[in-house]
Homo-oligomer: A and B are copies of this chain.
Amino acid sequence: MDSKKYCYEYPRPSVTTDCVIFGFDGVDLNVLLIERGIEPYKGKWAFPGGFVQMDESAEACAKRELFEETGIKDVFIEQLYTFSDVERDPRGRVITVAFFALVKTSEYQLLAGDDAIKAQWFKIKDIPALAFDHDLILRIAQNRIKGKIRYQPIGFELLDKKFTMPQLQLLYESILEVKFDRRNFSTKLMKTGLLIQLNEKMENVPHRAPRYLMFDKKKYNELQSSGFNFEI
């Protein structure tokens, strides 16, 4: 019996998705990688991904693969770029639609020592050798998040629902790879009118405790539809 049962008049490339998953550990920006168990690039690290099925869009595929390989779901995800170099996959012609996702790491405990798939967070400054053209994909993803965080409030997707101003600042600094003046940063962010101050402070810190904040997503959506734009 012939296993190659799907036949076409012209040759077709395979289409896959890959997903660059960003997380924030409080100090550094991190990326979630999966160790490949099979050739090619066996033992190398790669982004989770897989083949687009005939009944799902690329975005649906990216979300499905993300959940299947890491257990992550219902997170911010956005199309990044499509990589289509002829030689990018040694197995043949594979076009990949790359996505990037932002996750609150505290909500997803990785199942360490899981049998099938070995997933691990890596600091963005300490990435191992990657499979395929995933180093290129990562570089483009990093540039995208750097550009995007300045004009869209995506940073909050990486923090817990409740966060403090110092945490928010560390996040911005780690993504943009710059340092901000603490006072100017706070003033600017509060001036957006999108941060709600809670009557609650951090506990068990050996100094003055910072107050908790929340991002006002409802207000942002309202402002956005009336032609407002977030700028840091």
Contacts and interface: CB of A to CB of B under 8 A. Distances in A.
Contacts of A79: 81-82
B58 A82 contact: yes
Interface residues of A, number: 31
Contacts of A10: 6, 51
A59 interface: yes
A52 interface: yes
A4 to B, nearest CB: 4
Given A52-B95, A86-B57, A12 B9 contact: no
A58 B84 contact: yes
Interface SS, A side: loop
Nearest to A93: B54
Interface string A71-100: 000000001011011100000010101000
Interface in A1-38: 2-15
A55 interface: yes
Given A5-B9, A15-B95, 12 more contacts: A4-B7, A6-B9, A7-B7, A7-B8, A15-B15, A52-B84, A54-B93, A55-B86, A57-B86, A58-B82, A79-B82, A84-B97
